[in-house]
Amino acid sequence: MMEKQASRWHLHPQRVRYQETDQMQVVFHGNYVNWFEIGRTEWVRSAGIPYAAIEQQGLLLPVTELQCRFLRPARYDNQIVICTRVTEFSTVRLTFESQIRLVGETREGEPSPTGFTEASSDELPGELLVEGGTRHVWVGADFRPARLDKAAPELYALIQQVVLGE
């Protein structure tokens, strides 16, 4: 059964790099998917376990579904924040919600934003640019579905604790 309680948002600040833009200095759409991945990786790290440690336990978490809705483009040198949270989880699946938000326009010589770590849904900074998410299934090294509570009970308990706020 999928649990449907959303975790707090994990926030990861970033500045748009030139290589992520096209000739119009607008972020190429595929980069938002990369930013969703950065957000997921940082969410897992903030939960207390590096992603590499999960893989060392013989577990993988491939994407089975991707959603992305574009509202407004990010541009070269914008200050953005990648917002990520878990919205559903079970012993075999995990669903992340992602938002890319503009927190600062380009300003010559201004450092990247810092100080963001987590927030509730009504505290997200800046303007929403892109929203979406990814759905995943836990698998073993053989790519067969794996029950997280059996394969890595400590990890399952940790995710449950973070998502449910226990």
Domain with residue 136: its CATH number is: 3.10.129.10
pTM equals 0.88
* 151 in Cβ contact with 58 (< 8 Å): yes
Residue ranges of alpha helices (H) inside 48-147 are 51-56
| Spatial separation of the C-alpha atoms in residues 1 and 151, rounded to whole Å | 17
Q: How far is CA 34 from the centre of its chain?
A: 10
Kindly give the confidence (pLDDT) of every residue in the chain, 166 residues in length, as a single tens digit, with 9 standing for 90 and above: 555 667 889 999 999 999 999 988 899 999 999 999 999 999 999 988 888 999 999 999 999 999 999 999 999 999 999 999 999 999 999 999 999 999 987 555 555 555 556 666 568 999 999 999 999 999 999 999 999 999 999 999 999 998 887 6
Q: In whole angstroms, give the CA distance from residue 40 to residue 43.
A: 5
Number of structural domains found in the chain: 1
Domain containing residue 31: 9-164
2 lies in some domain: no
109 and 51 in contact (C-beta within 8 Å)? no
